[in-house]
Amino acid sequence: MDYHNQVYHAFWQGLVRLVVLHQASLGPIYSGRLSKFLRDQGYAISSGSRYPLLHLLEKAGFLASRLKVYRARVRKYYEITPQGRACLAEVWWEVADLVREVILEEDAGAPSPSSGPPLYALLPESPKIFWPPTF
């Protein structure tokens, strides 16, 4: 893999982690529902990548899991932890500043997005993934 692809891949891995934390902030998630959500957004992430990601976020203390029986099958549900919620909130505003500075070419020291129009109004794609932040 060349350097360009490595940077591109690392960038998207980080965004997927942010999306997973955001989805968990909305309520308990399990791998199958997460897979469907990501697929509906145009991203196909295999179970060979999804499960290690969920386990990584759990090991880091950002997610907590519990087993639950659903239709005679055991599912592992993941919920965001207070540490995960704090991380998501911090990263959310850092990403918002980065978008303002790099993509929208505004001053990063400008007032936070909460004091102006929501960033999602400026994005070309559906805001469902990131907005509203429910930390």
- Domains with residue ranges and CATH for the chain: 3-129 (1.10.10.10)
pLDDT single digits (tens) 101-134: 888 877 655 555 444 444 444 444 433 444 444 4
Residue length, the chain? 135
Angle at 76 between CA 59 and CA 84, to 5 degrees: 40
CA atoms within 13 A on the CB side of 23: 22
26 vs 79: CA distance, rounded Å: 9
Q: Does residue 85 sit in helix, strand or coil?
A: helix
pLDDT single digits (tens) 28-66: 999 999 999 988 988 888 888 899 999 999 999 999 999
Claim: this prediction has a pTM higher than 0.85: no
User: Which residues lie closer than 8 Å to 18 by C-beta, 6 or more apart?
Assistant: 88, 91, 92, 95, 130
